[in-house]
Amino acid sequence: MADFFYQTTPIYYVNDRPHLGTAYTTVVADAFARWHRIIGDETFLLTGTDEHGLKIARAAEERGKSPIAWADEASAWFVDAWSALEITNDDFIRTTQERHRRSVQQFMQAIYDNGYIYKGEWAGWYCVSCETYYSEEELEGDRLCPTHQRPVEWIVEENYFFALSQFTDRLLEWYEANPEVVLPESRRNEALGFIRQGLRDISVTRTSFDWGIRVPWDEEHVVYVWYDALINYATVAGYGSDAELFARMWPGVHHLVGKDILRFHAVWWPAMCMAAGILPPQQIVAHGWLLVGGEKMSKTRANQIEPVALAEEVGVEALRYHLLRDVTLGNDGDFTFEGLIGRYNADLANNLGNLLSRVSTVVSSKCGGIGPAPRDASATAMATISGEVIAEVRRAWQRAAPQEALEATWRLVRETNAALEIAEPWRHDPGPEVDAVLGDALEVLRIVAILAAPAMPETAAEIFSRIGLEGRPDAPGRGALAGGELAWGGYPGGCSVIRGEPLFPRRKAQG
Ligand code: MSP
């Protein structure tokens, strides 16, 4: 067992600005990492940029820049966007870094030395946008790439091949032995389907251009960009440079990827690890696409939504919440501005915002602004509901289902609002009855702040401080199973509760 929960995002191509699709992946990975920190796992979140290959060389050329000058510029867009979206990555890898060159060369050499790379000739239809070859049958229309609907190019090269076909049985055994290695199940079945169809060896070096990492035993060749890119996950874990770190981080790696790159992560990459003599990754979670008007967002279709501008308009945490709450992880989701505002008004303004504001108002008018303690777990139905919700949230994150975790959390918010409407503490004279109801509601707010923190960390922190609690709800280990605070009864009572501005003022939908 590795010591770390090591979460990764794909590394993004620097031919394109960050858009809502890439932001979606990154926010989900960030939420996974944040949840694991909360439950006390030693967590490491990695993201970065994929900077080699023909596509990037051409993007630079079109702009009259050297590939590295272009990559420096474009990689910074991602660093800035992820910081604006509150992404807590512990490292940011660029495949042009020296640490990565060393690691790729060692990884390749290990596979070569183990006898799984051989020299051959390759000719095929190549899509530069995908940086991948397609067989004649996979092409659409007039020899168009099935993903980009763009003409493919016929490329003939002498290069080195990875003997992927030799890994069919080992991959099938690995899937068999690890039922949750790919989540959700629909994506696992898809990956198994690729393997069962039969695997062909893949060409893993190029000689037609040189924007890449040199093959260590043959300087004429550069490493194929996908092979180069996948190894980034090992580079950062200390592969070939820090054996001690590697032993702690590997194979506890959890990849989050879009369905478009499932095959690379769930078939090629585990086989590459096996071939290099390291263990394959612990888990691959694959999500669907975020669509706009039913189509995938992409540069080619020019239908991208700029995530930082959107976050500035609606609030970064509202955007994060919507992405996590309204896309069922694994399926495609359709993004609309109206959907975002609808969710904001329903869950954030009306439910959560309303709960906090009515509780703080009544604590101020009936309890002199001092929050009372909750009832004993045995004396309140809210404790039972909280217990169920906490268990459900734990299971949901475990199954890589953020939408279920948030849905359960908001069930608790709604039930608490409903309980307040029945008890109507604002109509009664101060006294033990009013204190009990408000103490329970404050305790729910404490629990909800911890459960909502992976999606909305700063909102959660604000709730903590308004109800008079010290520290952050997402302090590492606060939600640990043993000795953590995700159980009824943690709100101590006697805290100063602040009546503040509404957390989420209602918004009108507009285009
Ligand atoms: N560079 C490769 C990945 C190498 S990982 C070793 C790559 N990059 S990419 O920039 O084209 O896209 C990476 C990821 O961005 C996709 O797998 C997916 O996770 C995400 N998305 C890109 N467009 C998206 C949507 N429209 N919707 C959801 N995710 C999207 O592939």
Tell me the DSSP string of 60-117. HHHTT--HHHHHHHHHHHHHHHHHHTT---SEEEETTSHHHHHHHHHHHHHHHHTT-E
Let me know the angle formed at the C-alpha of 183 by 173 and 346, rounded to the nearest 5 degrees: 175
Residue 20 Cβ inside 6 Å of ligand 1? The answer reads no
Q: Are 46 and 9 in contact (CB under 8 A)?
A: yes
Give the pLDDT band (50/70/90) at residue 510.
low
pLDDT beyond 90 at 145: yes
Tell how far the Cα of 300 is from the centroid of ligand 1, in angstroms. Answer: 13
pLDDT band at 297 (very low <50, low <70, confident <90, very high): confident
What average pLDDT does this structure show over 32-45? 98
Look at residue 281 and tell me whether its pLDDT is greater than 80.
yes
Pocket probe mutation, ligand 1, options 104, 260, 284, max atoms within 8 Å of Cβ:
260
Q: How much is the average pLDDT of 352-362? A: 98
Residue 211 Cβ inside 6 Å of ligand 1? The answer reads no
Q: How far is the CA of 329 from the centre of ligand 1 (A)?
A: 15
Q: What is the mean pLDDT of residues 65-72?
A: 98
How far, in Å, is the centroid of ligand 1 from the Cα of 10?
Answer: 6
Percent of the chain with pLDDT over 70: 99
Burial of 494 (0-12, 13-18, 19+ CB in 10 A): exposed
| Per-residue pLDDT at 511 exceeds 60 | no
pLDDT band at 133 (very low <50, low <70, confident <90, very high): confident
User: Of all protein residues, whose CA lies closest to atom 6 belonging to ligand 1?
Assistant: 230
Q: Is 329 in the pocket of ligand 1 (CB under 6 A)?
A: no
Looking only at the bridges linking them, the beta strands covering 295-296 and 290-292 are antiparallel
Average pLDDT over residues 343-358: 97
For the Cβ of 229 lying below 6 angstroms from any atom of ligand 1, the answer is yes
Instruction: Look at residue 304 in the predicted model and tell me its pLDDT.
Output: 82
* Ligand 1: residue whose CA is nearest its atom 19: 258
Report in angstroms the alpha-carbon separations of 224 from 75, 145, 285. Answer: 20, 19, 24
251 lines ligand 1 (CB under 6 A): no
pLDDT at position 500 over 60: yes
Domains, the chain, with CATH or none: 4-314 (3.40.50.620), 344-496 (1.10.730.10)
pLDDT for residue 399 is more than 60: yes
Categorize the per-residue pLDDT at 208 as very low, low, confident or very high, splitting at 50, 70 and 90. Answer: confident
Task: Quote the pLDDT of residue 1.
Answer: 62
d(CA 238, CA 241): 5
Reading the block at residue 504, the tokens are 């989420």
> Does residue 24 line the site of ligand 1, with CB under 6 A?
yes
Please indicate whether residue 272, judged by its CB atom, sits closer than 6 Å to ligand 1: no
| Contact 103 CB / ligand 1 (< 6 Å) | no
Q: What is the pLDDT of residues 414-423, one digit of tens each?
A: 999 999 999 9
Q: Residue 293 is encoded by which pair of tokens?
A: 């008007």
Does 36 have pLDDT greater than 70?
Answer: yes
b/e per residue, 452-475, with b = 16+ CB within 10 A? Answer: bbbbbbebbbbbbebbbbeebbbb
Does ligand 1 have an atom closer than 6 angstroms to the CB of 100? no
Distance in Å, CA 22 to ligand 1 centroid: 6
Q: Is the Cβ atom of 479 under 6 angstroms away from ligand 1?
A: no
| Nearest ligand 1 atom, CA 233 | 6
- 296 falls in which pLDDT band (50, 70, 90)? confident
**Concatenated DSSP letters of 136-158:** GGG-BTTTB-TTT--B-EEEEEE
Q: Calculate how far, in angstroms, residue 258's C-alpha sits from the geometric centre of ligand 1.
A: 6
Atom of ligand 1 lying closest to residue 10 CA: 5
Is 13 near ligand 1, meaning CB less than 6 Å away?
Answer: yes
Cβ of 257 below 6 Å from ligand 1: yes
**Candidates 8, 15, 25: which one to mutate for ligand 1, based on the most atoms within 8 Å of Cβ?**
25
Instruction: Compute the average pLDDT of residues 387-393.
Output: 98
Q: What is the pLDDT of residue 156?
A: 85
Chain-wide mean pLDDT for the chain?
A: 95
- For the Cβ of 258 lying below 6 angstroms from any atom of ligand 1, the answer is yes
Report yes or no: 250 and 279 within 8 Å, Cβ to Cβ. yes
